[in-house]
Amino acid sequence: MDWLSDEDIMLEVKQGNIDALSLLFKRHHKHLFNFFLQTGVEYHHSEDLTQQVFYRILKYKDSYREKAGFRKWMFTIARNIMRRHFETRKRHPEQELPAILLNISERQTIDSEEEERIKALYKALEKIPPQDRELISLSRFQGMKYEDIAEITGTTVGAIKVKMHRALKKLRDLYFEKADH
Amino acid sequence: MKKRIIDYQKTDTMKCNNTQINALLTAYLDNALTPEESKMVEAHLNDCSDCLDELQEIRTLHLQIEHTPLIDPPTDAERRFRQMLEKQHKPQKQSITITVDFSWKKIAAAIIIFLAGAATVLLFQSKTDSDTSSIAHLENQVSQMRQVLMTALIKNDSPSDRLKAVQYAEQISGPSPEVTNILLETLNHDPSVNVRLAAANALHQFAVHQEVRTKLAQSLQQQSDPMLQIVLIKMLVQFHERSMVPTLQDFSHDEKTHEMVKKEAEEALTVLL
Ligand SMILES: [Zn+2]
């Protein structure tokens, strides 16, 4: 089924073959999960929210527009669910990132210098504003295009080019300071 | 100093003061610039060593991010998802159902009257017009008759008669603009909530037409009954009708909005791109 595009599969789901949604879950749940972690949602909640996104996709399958980018739609829903999560828990995304991001050696064997660099990267990510984390996660970690990010965040491509640069500049400055000592 | 795989010397604070061009550097590396913008950046890079250094720094960071593996979700994530999917397989009502408390006896009577009327038309047609009386023609006649009945009933003072009228409208095949207009008019102005609900239900099948959806979205703005609000939101979200977004935002911010409507509006907002 790999040759089917996300959009083909979603159309199939919309037409009533809801089992096809498991293909999309397989393809994207890891990215969604990491998006939540990187924006500051705790480990178990990140998993819950991932499930919620897919539940909502299923519930609103009729409203999926033919040919609309699936990943774009998915991350729009994810972003809304994430915001709601922070609102209802009165926990601010400015707070620290989940510990799992920093406990690298616990989950895989890794060269210690590489480990230091990854830690420095996440520590830098932790220090930048939530909106910037979102942009960086979508663009660099989840591989979303500028056009899609502009739509997801409700802004123009022109604005995204500049915002992305500024967000990454903040990350760079913090990261290279860390990695230097 | 430790040896680093990705070698990098941090320059002091970037001195370039062409902030406009400088802000495009990341997009330049991502091939996200227009051809004109790219040319401008390239021309600038010829004389600006600060920006050239910064470009190298951006590349290094991007490389580091690419080498950062994503975290694996818990191992039971897929199993949990499949369980959720299983639950959805249990038979569920597909369409929007509206409970209206009208008397079934009255409806049954209306149907019998209607069938009798249709039979008369059929007989009449087959006697006088045997050559041209195609099924399509007859169906058309029946539809016309329903329309006449409906237009007469909708003006009635009794809500149950107006309900009947709306029921007729629902059965009219290939509805005319008059029928949709009467239904919309009823939806917006009928004093009885039940009649308004029935009108919304009847309009559901015409919502494939953009003009009808636009009118339904406008109607949503005026409705004050929570049930009607919910029905209209559900209907319009199915068709991904974005013109209702401002109304939904109003609902979600207004303290006076019913809790259930608020929830419905907020969920709908999350799926309307
Ligand atoms: Zn420069």
Output the pLDDT for position B126.
45
The radius of gyration computed from the CA coordinates of chain B, to the nearest angstrom, equals 32
Least-confidence region, from A18-22, B109-113, B215-219: B109-113
> Does residue A86 lie in a domain region?
yes
Question: Under a CB-based contact definition with an 8 Å cutoff, are residues A123 and A102 in contact?
Answer: yes
Look at chain A and count its residues.
181
pLDDT surpassing 60 at residue A39: yes
Those residues with Cβ within 8 angstroms of residue B262's Cβ, 6 or more apart along the chain or in another chain: B251, B252
> Does residue B183 lie in a domain region?
yes
- Same domain, yes or no, for A144 and A84? no
pLDDT surpassing 60 at residue B94: no
- Same domain, yes or no, for A2 and A90? yes
End position of a domain, from candidates B68, B85, B119 = B68
Output the pLDDT for position B137.
64
| Total number of domains constituting chain B | 2
- Same domain, yes or no, for A91 and A114? no
B2-25 average pLDDT score: 66
Q: How far is B204 from chain A (nearest CA, A)?
A: 14
pLDDT band (50, 70, 90) for residue A73: very high
- Give the type of residue at B217: A
Residue entry with tokens 């991350």: A75
Output the pLDDT for position B2.
42
pLDDT surpassing 90 at residue B178: no
pLDDT band (50, 70, 90) for residue B203: confident
Question: In sequence order, which ranges of chain A are alpha helices (DSSP H)?
Answer: 6-14, 21-38, 43-59, 70-89, 104-107, 112-127, 130-136, 146-152, 157-179
3-state secondary structure of A20: helix
Enumerate the residues of chain B whose CB falls inside 8 A of the CB of residue A47. Answer: 73-74, 77
**Yes or no, beta carbons of A51 and B81 under 8 Å apart:** yes
Region label for A137, one of left (φ > 0), alpha (ψ between -120 and 50) or beta (otherwise):
alpha
Instruction: Write b or e for each residue in A119-148: b if 16 or more Cβ atoms lie within 10 A of its Cβ, otherwise e.
Output: bbbbbbbbbbebebbbbbbbbbbbebbbeb
- Determine the Cα–Cα distance for residues B246 and B218; give it in Å rounded to an integer: 11
Output the pLDDT for position B164.
81
End position of a domain, from candidates B48, B68, B88 = B68
> Does residue B268 lie in a domain region?
yes
Output the pLDDT for position A164.
96
* Closest Cβ–Cβ partner in B6, B24, B239 for A161: B24
End position of a domain, from candidates A43, A66, A95 = A95
Question: Under a CB-based contact definition with an 8 Å cutoff, are residues B237 and B268 in contact?
Answer: yes
Instruction: Tell me the pLDDT tens digit for each residue of A138-169.
Output: 999 999 999 999 999 999 999 999 999 999 99
Range of the domain at A33: 1-95
Residue (of B194, B30, B152) closest to A162 by Cα position: B30
Q: What is the ipTM of this complex?
A: 0.90
Q: Find the B45 Cα to ligand 1 centroid distance in Å.
A: 7
- Determine the Cα–Cα distance for residues B253 and B247; give it in Å rounded to an integer: 10
pLDDT band (50, 70, 90) for residue A110: confident
- Mutation pick from B68, B76, B243 vs chain A, by most beta carbons of A within 10 Å, is B68
- Determine the Cα–Cα distance for residues A51 and A56; give it in Å rounded to an integer: 9
pLDDT band (50, 70, 90) for residue B129: very low
Residue entry with tokens 């290094």: B60
- Same domain, yes or no, for A85 and A114? no
Question: Under a CB-based contact definition with an 8 Å cutoff, are residues B2 and A113 in contact?
Answer: yes
B231-250 average pLDDT score: 91
The enclosing domain of A28 has a CATH number of 1.10.1740.10
**Yes or no, beta carbons of B71 and A171 under 8 Å apart:** no
Range of the domain at B268: 177-272
Q: What percent of chain B has pLDDT over 70?
A: 74
> Does residue A102 lie in a domain region?
no
- Determine the Cα–Cα distance for residues B35 and B18; give it in Å rounded to an integer: 19
Q: Does A62 touch chain B (CB under 8 A)?
A: yes
pLDDT surpassing 90 at residue B89: no
- Same domain, yes or no, for A122 and A180? yes
First to last CA, chain A: 48
pLDDT surpassing 90 at residue A10: yes
End position of a domain, from candidates B38, B68, B98 = B68
Q: What angle do CA A119, A124, A125 make, to 5 degrees?
A: 100
> Does residue B152 lie in a domain region?
no
Q: Does A156 touch chain B (CB under 8 A)?
A: no
Higher pLDDT, A96 or B102: A96
B69-93 average pLDDT score: 85
- Per the confidence metrics, is the pTM higher than 0.95? no
Output the pLDDT for position B6.
45
pLDDT band (50, 70, 90) for residue B87: confident
| Total number of domains constituting chain A | 2
pLDDT band (50, 70, 90) for residue B30: very high
pLDDT surpassing 80 at residue B38: yes
The enclosing domain of A175 has a CATH number of 1.10.10.10
